[in-house]
Structure formats: structure tokens, C-alpha cells
């Protein structure tokens, strides 16, 4: 199904990390963060603190209405086994994540909870899903803090566009571009633009998301960003992955379906990563709630990007979020 590009929306600049735009009047903003701390003396065990918040901005210059605030904590051991887990709101008693891998089989384990009406559109669903991506990006600590370059490429061929067969990323320097420092995501001129984040500390990694949704005459508009970053031993926060994308959805057959998509890469490890957005048009015509399933089915292996795929999936709740936005 044909789609459209979002020409009227502002574009992010490629090859650099970005901060947070001001809140838009009449929009709902979902922000989330997964903060991972890697104590050097625990042999690879790490601690996760996830936080997500929904706020509605009705008028210019006013504090937003906080609609939801969810959180989770976890302790994950080698090889990425969840040893301890808690969330607010708590998961149903039958969803037991302790002893579960944060990678293999994890999404199947959380699927029954995410499918429940009480959870599927809550911020917690996004935090739960991001346990997988967070487990993947923590390799950065081994590479950037511990100098273990081999950890970056082990078993990675064809898992995504960045590691497609023949790519320089599999044979050359682990990073093509110079280190890109990450500016603060919280705005001094608008302290409500992003929820409170943990202070920078060495050997920490963060996955942060921002999803803005508002109504238009045609349907819905979405401005979304995700950013993975880590703090070096000398205290500098550097970008790992970043994409910003603009999407539009229109009502067809009683459902809001994706009709437009424009992806702008930010700071990324490899030039090959920039091919991933080309396959996004495969998602046109997908009802927004179906993105969680459709992305995993359509954008597998070297035609997609693991992290961009997660970003596409993160807007599955946009239809529900927009229900509180002014018409």
C-alpha cells in the first residue's frame, strides 16, 4: 500500500546526537528510560531501572497533566538471566520472569501480560519490551569500557542491516565515526519535557525513548525518537544508536493504519546501519496496534535494524494514547 513522506515535519540532523524538543500543545508525550548499571566487581551482572511516563499538554507554557507513571527494576546475571524482577504496576502472578532469559524466549514470556487490556497500552508494556534491546546494547560496556572489541562482532553476521554479509562493520574498525557526545535529554527551559533521569555514572548504559502523538485533520501524527547511550570510564556520555522518525496514520475500515513514515538516522556505529530505514515502507497499511507483531515478521535479519524495529513497535499504543488528545 502506498505511503507518504512527512515533508512538513522538522527533520533531525544525521550523524549527531539530539536532545528533546519542546512539548507540543494538544499532544500526549510518552517518555521512557532503561538505565543499566554494570558494577565492575560483579562479573557481568547488571542492574536495570526502567521508568516511563505519559503527560498531556493542553496549553502553552503550562505544566502537563501526568496520566501514567510506570516502573520496573531487575537484576540480570551472566548470561543475561533475570535473577530478580519487580514492576509498578505489578505483573499478574502467573507471569514469572525470575529465571527467564532477557533474550531467548523473553517476549513469549511477557506476551500474555502485554496482551491484557490493563497492560497493553500502558507505559509498562514499553518498558517490558525494552528489556530485550537493553540486554543487547550492554555489549557496549565490554567494547568501550573494557576494550573487548571481539564482543561487538561475535555471531552478528546478518542479524541486521548494519551487520549484513560483506559489511565493513564485520571486518573493519568497530566504529566508523568519531565518538558523539550526547546532550542532556532534559530541557532547562522546560523541566517537564522529559521525566527525571539518573545522573551520569561510568559503566552505565541507557535506552531512552520519546513518543509524541497528536491529532490532525487527516488522523494522527507521531514524532518519535530513541537513543542508546553509555558513559565512559572518564564520565563522558556517548551515543550508541539513535533514530528519529515521523509517522502519520489515517482511519481506514475503523482502524488507524500507518500511511506515512520518514526516518532520520542520528548517531550510529556504522554507515551500513543507515540502510535499515529503507525497508520501513513494508509497514504501510498496518493498523498501529498490529505493529508489535508485523515488524517482527516483516523486518527480520539484514533488511532491518533490531533497534529501529523496536522503535517502530513502540508506537503500537499511539491510537490509545491519542484518545485523550484534543480533537
pLDDT tens-digit profile of 192-232?
999 999 999 999 999 999 999 999 999 999 999 999 999 99
**Region of poorest pLDDT, from 54-63, 273-282, 305-314:** 273-282
Contact yes or no for 182/237 (Cβ under 8 A): yes
| pLDDT for position 3 | 46
| pLDDT for position 11 | 43
What one-character-per-residue DSSP string does 29-57 give? EEEEEEEEE--GGGTT-EEEEEEEEEEEE
| pLDDT for position 1 | 34
Q: Is the pTM of this model over 0.85?
A: yes
Per-residue CA distances from 226 to 8, 19, 308 (Å):
21, 11, 8
**Range with top average pLDDT, 120-134, 266-280, 292-306:** 120-134
Per-residue CA distances from 273 to 169, 248, 320 (Å):
9, 24, 31
Confidence of residue 155 (pLDDT cuts 50, 70, 90): low
Please confirm whether the linkage preceding 145 is cis (ω < 30° from 0). Answer: no
In percent, the amount of the chain with pLDDT more than 70 equals 89
**Residue 290: count of CB within 10 angstroms of its CB:** 16
**Region of poorest pLDDT, from 24-38, 78-92, 116-130, 260-274:** 260-274
For residue 51, which phi and psi values (nearest 5 degrees)? Answer: -145, 140
> Average pLDDT for residues 149-177, to the nearest whole number?
65
**Residue 300: count of CB within 10 angstroms of its CB:** 15
Domain ranges of the chain: 27-33+132-322
Q: How far is CA 107 from the centre of its chain?
A: 15
Between these two residues, 307 and 13, which has the higher pLDDT value?
307
Contact yes or no for 226/207 (Cβ under 8 A): yes
Confidence of residue 13 (pLDDT cuts 50, 70, 90): very low
> Average pLDDT for residues 156-175, to the nearest whole number?
69
Amino acid at each position: 500500500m502506498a505511503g507518504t513522506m512527512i515533508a512538513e515535519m522538522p527533520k533531525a540532523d544525521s550523524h549527531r546526537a539530539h536532545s528533546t524538543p519542546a512539548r507540543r500543545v494538544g499532544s500526549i508525550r510518552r517518555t521512557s528510560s532503561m538505565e543499566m548499571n554494570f558494577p565492575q566487581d560483579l562479573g557481568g551482572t547488571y542492574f536495570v531501572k526502567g521508568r516511563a511516563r505519559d503527560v498531556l499538554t493542553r496549553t502553552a507554557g503550562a505544566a502537563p497533566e501526568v496520566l501514567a507513571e510506570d516502573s520496573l527494576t531487575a537484576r540480570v546475571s551472566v548470561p543475561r538471566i533475570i535473577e530478580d524482577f519487580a514492576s509498578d504496576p505489578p505483573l499478574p502472578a502467573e507471569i514469572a520472569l525470575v529465571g527467564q532469559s532477557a533474550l531467548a524466549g523473553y517476549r513469549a514470556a511477557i506476551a500474555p501480560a502485554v496482551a491484557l487490556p490493563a497492560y497493553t497500552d500502558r507505559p509498562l508494556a514499553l518498558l517490558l519490551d525494552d528489556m530485550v534491546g537493553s540486554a543487547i546494547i550492554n555489549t557496549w560496556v565490554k567494547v568501550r569500557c573494557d576494550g573487548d572489541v571481539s564482543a561487538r562482532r561475535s555471531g552478528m553476521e546478518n542479524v541486521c542491516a548494519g551487520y549484513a554479509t560483506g559489511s565493513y562493520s564485520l571486518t573493519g574498525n568497530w566504529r566508523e565515526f568519531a565518538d558523539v557526545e550526547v546532550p542532556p535529554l532534559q530541557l532547562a527551559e522546560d523541566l517537564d519535557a522529559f521525566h527525571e533521569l539518573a545522573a551520569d555514572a561510568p559503566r552505565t548504559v541507557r535506552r531512552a525513548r520519546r513518543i509524541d502523538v497528536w491529532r490532525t485533520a487527516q488522523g494522527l501524527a507521531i514524532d518519535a525518537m530513541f537513543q542508546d547511550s553509555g558513559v565512559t570510564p572518564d564520565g563522558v556520555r556517548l551515543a550508541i544508536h539513535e533514530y528519529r522518525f515521523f509517522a502519520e496514520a489515517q482511519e481506514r475500515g475503523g482502524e488507524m493504519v500507518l500511511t506515512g513514515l520518514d526516518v532520520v538516522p542520528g548517531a550510529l556505529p556504522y554507515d551500513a546501519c543507515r540502510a535499515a530505514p529503507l525497508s520501513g515502507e513494508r509497514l504501510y497499511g498496518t493498523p498501529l496496534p498490529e505493529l508489535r507483531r508485523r515488524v517482527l515478521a516483516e523486518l527480520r535479519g539484514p533488511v532491518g535494524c533490531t533497534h529501529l524495529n523496536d522503535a517502530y513497535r513502540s508506537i503500537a499504543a499511539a491510537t490509545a494514547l491519542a484518545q485523550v488528545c484534543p480533537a
